[in-house]
Amino acid sequence: MKSESQLRPFATSGPAADAFQAFFDMVDAPAALCDLSLTILTANAAFEVLTGRKNVVGVPLGEALGSDGITRPDEERPVDLDVVLKSGQHVTLTVSRRGETIAVVARRLSPMLDSLAAAGRALIEQARVESQLLEIGRNVAGSTGEEELVATVARGVKGLFPGRTFVVRIVDPRTCALTSLYAEGRLRDGQRDVFHLRRSMVEKTHLETGHLPSDKVVVTTQELPLVFTGSVRGIAAPLVASGQLVGAINVEYPPGLTADVLADERVLIQLANQVAVAVRNAKLIDELTFVRKYLEELIENGNALIVVTNREGKVVVFNRALTQLTGWTKADVLGRDFYELVAPKMKLNMLRVFTDALVGQSQSAFETALVTHDGREARVTLASSAVVSQAGDIEGVIAIGQDLSRMRDLEKRVVQAEKLASLGQLAASVVHEINNPMTAVATYADALLSRASTSLTADPNDVSKYRKIVENTDRVLRFTRDLVSYARPAQDTPEEVDVNQTVDRAIGFCEHVLQKHGVTLDRQFGEVPRFMAVRQNLVQVFINLITNACHATPSGGRITVSTLVQDSQVLVEIRDTGAGMPADVQSRVFEPFFTTKPDGKGTGLGLSIVQGIVENHGGRIGVESTPGKGSVFSIVLPMVRAGS
């Protein structure tokens, strides 16, 4: 029961009745507010127990108490009235007036009425707790994730245990690592990740302790260590689901707060049992959500072509690989009949495959053609199987496959390479047949030139003609030797090379291209020491780049090839005055099969091969280009010396 000093300020405060309702509920003594006619405006539960009536609002005070000896006090001071209730019990009423409101507080109850009042309060408190637990149970059951669940539990704990500090912690049941935390109060250092549980609580919740890590969970029969600063006592309940620890709730009491700890502990166990089930369900939902998202990402971003249709053949899954291959967006395809995307000549075969899948007959691999957004046909290979529901019913068809377009292109390139290899062998034989007569021509021409040069009667015009014959036969012989050397398969064995001589050899192979396009080539060679490289591969690189520069440069244009040493590396630049390239072409210029040349004029493999050769040497290749101002290809090679 509250002291008289606690009750009198309340009795003389005098605002409207509804402002006192919360205070009435906290006061142990029976209390009521009346108007000037002593009609009850509001009363607390203890007052209703005192009168024996469930609802006393609107009832005259004397009638409610069964006593006629109650008078209205003046406004100056409170009045104590001794009255006899209709039950025959004696009670003292403190009656105070403030304005038009009269407060009534009953004191000196008989032991019987005091017990009845306490029992009534206990019943009311029990009903409140059960109502709150029921509400918390509904709310946590509706939580769809761990964060939402923890927030819901925190609100519930705050309502069940007002004035206390508390912490709600959720852990991974496999490792006991903390996954979520909500605290009302300041946690002590080192108490955030450690759980102290009483043995009795562990037994009541059927927690299996054999697998719990001793550095995170401590089970004790002693008083629990406090987790909050400023607390004087505390209780804790583990959250246990299927014998596993999924978290804990700690509630602690500040100094001066009186509470029934045993009753609080019983309530906390009820709450923990409800929350533990909800935590387990929330974790299952989170895991299922993660697995589902993971599978969706796997399907969406996988390198394979993946399409799923329902039983009616409507597309329900169309992954990114298919979008990139066909050009169709998801918005274009989802809900559309998949057979509309199949090339007309392949529709019957595709219909047969999907019909077989709907009756459980899988197809390991079959080729078909899909119609792309721009009207082309993309060759693909697919493997089909049925999509089966949990109940075992076939709900649709899934097909997984690969793009055959590049494979078919590579097959064509291989055939072309084999043809070129055969042609190279034939060229080597032809060159051998050319060398023999050309050697004779060169020998006789050199003899004629020597004789004419020493003869005093020789015609100068004849001497000039003999010299041209010698020069051109030497040129033919040098070209045939280089051609045979270039056609011979490279051994990929590094040797010391002179980069300037290597570039010169490549230029010699490109002279006919330069003449055909009317392009002038300038050499700007610096002093570059010999270094280790695969000579024939570098020749192939320079031939490709010079040839491309010729094709990009109009007649009358100029190509400049420069070599120098920069930062202990060899830098070779091939600069042209051609049309240049826009940014989107520059970004793709080294991609395999990418070409800006008309069909049949280029394979799109040259620069990708060049990049591979340069990178195999440990170097790098780059391009800078401005539309209308030409392009510069830069090759940087490490200057590896013999024996290093």
Residue 465 binned pLDDT confidence (cut-offs 50, 70, 90): confident
Give the Cα separation of 624 and 71 in Å (integer): 105
Residue 138 binned pLDDT confidence (cut-offs 50, 70, 90): confident
pLDDT attached to residue 259: 72
Select the more confidently predicted residue: 595 or 164.
Answer: 164
Confidence check: pLDDT of 64 > 50 = yes
Confidence check: pLDDT of 2 > 50 = no
Among the ranges given (292-301, 387-396, 420-429, 511-520), the one the predictor scored with the smallest mean pLDDT: 420-429
Calculate mean pLDDT across residues 1-25: 44
CATH class name, domain 304-396: alpha beta
The proportion of the chain whose per-residue pLDDT surpasses 90, expressed as a percent, equals 12
Q: What are phi and psi of 363, to 5 degrees?
A: -120, 120
Calculate mean pLDDT across residues 359-379: 86
Place of tokens 């102290």: 196
Alpha carbon of residue 506 to chain centroid: 50
Confidence check: pLDDT of 23 > 80 = no
Calculate mean pLDDT across residues 400-405: 83
Angle subtended at Cα 561 by Cα 556 and Cα 563, rounded to the nearest 5 degrees: 165
Residue 486 binned pLDDT confidence (cut-offs 50, 70, 90): low
Calculate mean pLDDT across residues 410-414: 65
Confidence check: pLDDT of 563 > 90 = yes
pLDDT attached to residue 441: 78
DSSP string, 167-226: EEEEE-TTT--EEEEEEESPBPTT-SS-EEEEHHHHHHTT---TTS-TTTEEEESSPPPP
What ranges make up the beta strands (E) of 514-629?
A: 520-525, 531-533, 558-566, 569-576, 620-626
Residue 594 binned pLDDT confidence (cut-offs 50, 70, 90): low
pLDDT attached to residue 346: 86
Q: Which CATH architecture has domain 4-109?
A: 2-Layer Sandwich (3.30)
pLDDT attached to residue 489: 52
Average pLDDT, the chain: 80
Calculate mean pLDDT across residues 322-347: 89
Residue 110 binned pLDDT confidence (cut-offs 50, 70, 90): low
pLDDT attached to residue 600: 46
Alpha carbon of residue 279 to chain centroid: 24
Place of tokens 């290809």: 633
pLDDT attached to residue 3: 40
**Does residue 564 contact residue 529 with C-beta atoms inside 8 Å?**
no
Give the Cα separation of 134 and 243 in Å (integer): 24
Angle subtended at Cα 435 by Cα 434 and Cα 438, rounded to the nearest 5 degrees: 85
**525 is written with which tokens?**
């060679």
pLDDT attached to residue 636: 93
Give the Cα separation of 502 and 405 in Å (integer): 37
pLDDT attached to residue 48: 82
Note the pLDDT tens digit of each residue in 200-252: 888 888 888 888 888 889 998 888 899 999 888 888 999 988 888 989 999 99
List of long-range contacts for 223-226, beta carbons under 8 Å, 24+ apart? 224/196, 224/197, 224/198, 225/191, 225/196, 226/188, 226/252
The proportion of the chain whose per-residue pLDDT surpasses 70, expressed as a percent, equals 80
Select the more confidently predicted residue: 284 or 322.
Answer: 322
Give the Cα separation of 624 and 615 in Å (integer): 18
Domain locations in the chain as residue ranges: 4-109, 125-287, 304-396, 404-489, 491-644
Q: What is the radius of gyration, based on Cα positions, of the chain? A: 48
Torsion of CA 13, 17, 20, 22, to 10 degrees: 180
Topology of 491-644 in CATH? Answer: Heat Shock Protein 90 (3.30.565)
CA distances from 529 to 536, 563, 569, 642 (A): 18, 11, 10, 11
Select the more confidently predicted residue: 88 or 203.
Answer: 203
**Does residue 107 contact residue 92 with C-beta atoms inside 8 Å?**
yes
Select the more confidently predicted residue: 634 or 9.
Answer: 634
Confidence check: pLDDT of 503 > 70 = yes
**Does residue 246 contact residue 150 with C-beta atoms inside 8 Å?**
no
Q: Which CATH architecture has domain 125-287?
A: 2-Layer Sandwich (3.30)
404-489: CATH number: 1.10.287
Among the ranges given (84-88, 380-384, 427-431), the one the predictor scored with the smallest mean pLDDT: 427-431
Note the pLDDT tens digit of each residue in 439-460: 777 777 777 778 777 777 777 8
Same topology between domain 404-489 and domain 491-644: no
Note the pLDDT tens digit of each residue in 39-52: 998 888 778 878 88
